Structure 1
Amino acid sequence: MDRHASAVWAVPRTNLGVIAWPPTGRDKLFVRWHYWWQAHYLDCQVDAAERRCTGARITTINRTIRGMRVRNMGKFSRNNYYDDKAWLALALWRVEQLGGCSTKARHQLKVKDRRKELEENILAGVDSLTGVLPWRGQETFYNVPTNGPAAIMAARTGRLNLAAQLTDWVFDNLINEYGLVMDGLRMRMHGRENVTALYSYCQGVMLGACTELAVAQRAAEGVADQDLSDVGMRYITRTIGLVSAVHEEMANRLGVIDWTSSGGDGGLFNGILVRYLALVAEKLPEVGAAALQAKRLAKKMVLATAESAWRHRLEVDGLPVFPSNWAADAVLPQAGGLVGATIAGAVASSDIAERDLSVQLSGWMLMEAAARVSGVDLTAK
């Protein structure tokens, strides 16, 4: 916040995260601002407010929401990318859930209608042929980074049939031989074509979708967390398998997430994974020994990764600079050099990845995730 937070175009009561530090003049003017990075910037602020809710934090959250609206020239739905909009819908829903502050009612009034309008815009994009969301409007690419957060959104807002539909589509079509989630598929004239690339955030969103769906299904049927019941077991079982696959393929021998790291959009990927590993540790129903073990493993990875990232940080003026690779030393960002360009809808890394807001947001996400799971008691009951 000290390095990146700034008013938008000097408009009062606005806030966004400047996309690089040290920033260029264009960065300071928010010529580029990266909608989905700001959604995660807002999500991190909610993490902090959940941990310790203060009036100042709620004020900043409101200013960030206003800043996004100002920079987006009005409606949040003014965006062709359904994944971007789904990330913001998740953050806005979490803003509504905040409690413990005297300003709660005020910020809810500012959020609820806009969040519902955004959700309706997203839901209207579900393709009638495939039953899932495309990456963007007028697109034949259907990917996990879009349908994963949309499934989480649907589960949290009571649209359980849609949440199951989106989640089942991923597990029916995009699981590789290692049990990991692939990126997506394209519909070509000659038929479907899988995009087999592996990204850590694809694992994260499906962990989140399965966990939230299992919890919601069991709540709808009145099934208690530890009751032995078939309700939600499909998604609990999938979560158990995916946690194990992430541990085997994306973590080192110490349990530290060290999957391919970079700046640009990729700077957010590992942060999203640990956010939802923490959700597994917190919320996955403890139905049997395998579920409890998955929760313990998720907690272990989050804490080991946080310890490693903190050990490898730099400090500048007493403030941390998180590394892009959580198992290696951070590199000091420098003014000058290339700042990540937007290519085919994705933002490339700056010359020094640590310069990018996305990398520092992931470090923030990781520390908040560690703070949450450190208080989770996973001793056998």
Structure 2
Amino acid sequence: MYGDWAAAAETAITTRHLRRVWGLPGTVLGRSGWPPSPDQRVHWHWNYWWQAHLLDCLIDAQLRAPSADRGATIDRFISSVRLRNFGKWTNNYYDDMAWLGLAMQRAGRDVEMLLAELRSAWTPEGGGGIWWRHNDRFKNTPSNGPAAILHARAGETERARELFAWLDSTLVDPGTGLVWDGLRVDSGELVKHIYTYCQGVFLGAALELSEVDAAARTVRAVAQHCAPDGVLRGQGDGDGGLFAGILARYLALAAERLPTPEADTARGLVLTSARACWEGAHEAPGGPLFSAEWSGWVPSTDLSVQVGAWLLLESAATLTRSRTTGGA
């Protein structure tokens, strides 16, 4: 069931959004909206980090149902990111680069150029951690979380632990266990916004580093504060459309790696959210059109929202596969 839903999401998103870059043969990226605006038709607004998550979904789909055609699409997609980025892999945002690194690493590509950027972003100011973007004075969970995951998966455990320790000591609310957004280094101001994105990447870093207590605490906090009626809360269109999908990815990993009862809690959050997401989708050309709020009924035309739903459904599919095959 969940695998079928993930396949339907893939068909819908690839049908509506995947197009050549500047009309060039052998290229493909996701248009940022559907129906596309004139700018979106030529990938002028192409949203680098949305593309990283779209690539991650294509890789999820390839693991779910391997296909030579999809494998070729993944290859074209990766080369198209560099083309559209004017011949570079890097940009000004460290969180963006961490996400592309994670997706490319899963595809078996060299990510040293991205790791080098992340290494250069660490400073002792504010107690450690990396900056959000170049020439900025803000350190946050959205950059440090995925960077810690990437460093850990690349075998750079010491740096990953430094980043995780900074997050755990600086940005975790001692009352709720939720993870705050960031720290304005010059003023010392803690930005205490609560985003599902932040819970997801902190959870992912904890899992990669076998920080079981911190991971379990985060799952409990999410269940208590971020999932009314067991459905992960949405955070709007635009960038926010990806936030809950990111959390779902790492909750699915938590369901495989944590002991009970937190593993069962994580599994329930993913599967309940997936069902709500699917049941709340609208029919549209190519397949389902998803809402930013999975318990709601207002569809979105943003690629981010559609990819966030696809992330969720692929995550749910991994859980049902693992129950039947004995592996993730």
**Offset of 1:377 from its aligned partner?**
4.0
**Among candidates 256, 273, 279, match of residue 231 of structure 2:** 256
Instruction: Say if 2:176 is the partner of 1:178.
Output: yes
**Among candidates 121, 127, 134, match of residue 125 of structure 1:** 121
**Among candidates 304, 314, 320, match of residue 368 of structure 1:** 314
Over aligned residue pairs, what C-alpha RMSD do you find? 1.3
Instruction: Say if 2:203 is the partner of 1:203.
Output: no
Provide the secondary structure at the position in 2 that maps to 1:185.
strand
Q: Under a length normalisation based on structure 1, what TM-score does the superposition of the two structures give?
A: 0.79
Are the counterparts in 2 of residues 207 and 242 from structure 1 also a CA contact under 8 Å? yes
Supply the AA of the counterpart residue of 2:224.
E
**Among candidates 36, 45, 62, match of residue 23 of structure 1:** 36
Are the counterparts in 2 of residues 180 and 246 from structure 1 also a CA contact under 8 Å? yes
Tell me how far apart the structure 1 counterparts of residues 234 and 64 of structure 2 sit (CA, whole Å): 30
- Determine which structure has greater relative contact order: mean sequence separation of CA pairs < 8 Å that are 6+ residues apart, divided by chain length: 2
Equivalent position of 1:12 in the other structure = 25
**Among candidates 84, 87, 92, match of residue 96 of structure 2:** 84
**Offset of 1:318 from its aligned partner?**
5.4
Q: Percent identity?
A: 42
Are the counterparts in 2 of residues 309 and 327 from structure 1 also a CA contact under 8 Å? yes
Instruction: Say if 2:55 is the partner of 1:33.
Output: no
Are the counterparts in 1 of residues 179 and 198 from structure 2 also a CA contact under 8 Å? yes
**Offset of 1:141 from its aligned partner?**
0.1
Q: Under a length normalisation based on structure 2, what TM-score does the superposition of the two structures give?
A: 0.91
Provide the secondary structure at the position in 2 that maps to 1:239.
helix
Provide the secondary structure at the position in 2 that maps to 1:56.
helix
**Offset of 1:260 from its aligned partner?**
4.3
Equivalent position of 2:252 in the other structure = 278
Equivalent position of 1:305 in the other structure = 273
In the TM superposition, what whole-angstrom CA distance separates every residue of 1:338-380 from its partner, at most 9, and x where no partner exists?
xxxxxxxxxxxxxxxx0100000011001100000123349xx
Q: What is the count of residue pairs matched by the alignment?
A: 309
Tell me how far apart the structure 1 counterparts of residues 41 and 261 of structure 2 sit (CA, whole Å): 46
Provide the secondary structure at the position in 2 that maps to 1:142.
strand
Equivalent position of 2:72 in the other structure = 59
Flag structure 1 segments of 5+ consecutive residues without an equivalent. Answer: 97-110, 215-234, 285-290, 332-353
Flag structure 2 segments of 5+ consecutive residues without an equivalent. Answer: 1-13
Tell me how far apart the structure 2 counterparts of residues 370 and 263 of structure 1 sit (CA, whole Å): 22
In the TM superposition, what whole-angstrom CA distance separates every residue of 1:286-316 from its partner, at most 9, and x where no partner exists?
xxxxx22111110111000000110110011
**Among candidates 81, 94, 107, match of residue 95 of structure 1:** 107
Provide the secondary structure at the position in 2 that maps to 1:376.
helix
**Among candidates 321, 324, 340, match of residue 292 of structure 2:** 324
In the TM superposition, what whole-angstrom CA distance separates every residue of 1:263-298 from its partner, at most 9, and x where no partner exists?
0000000110101101111234xxxxxx22111110
Tell me how far apart the structure 2 counterparts of residues 4 and 277 of structure 1 sit (CA, whole Å): 27
Equivalent position of 2:159 in the other structure = 162
Q: Which has the larger radius of gyration?
A: 1
In the TM superposition, what whole-angstrom CA distance separates every residue of 1:302-338 from its partner, at most 9, and x where no partner exists?
000000110110011350001111001133xxxxxxx
Provide the secondary structure at the position in 2 that maps to 1:147.
helix
Tell me how far apart the structure 1 counterparts of residues 251 and 31 of structure 2 sit (CA, whole Å): 28
Tell me how far apart the structure 2 counterparts of residues 260 and 16 of structure 1 sit (CA, whole Å): 25
Equivalent position of 1:75 in the other structure = 88
Tell me how far apart the structure 2 counterparts of residues 62 and 377 of structure 1 sit (CA, whole Å): 30
Equivalent position of 2:146 in the other structure = 149
Higher helix share: 2
Supply the AA of the counterpart residue of 1:276.
Y
Runs ≥4 residues deviating over 2 A: 128-131, 375-378
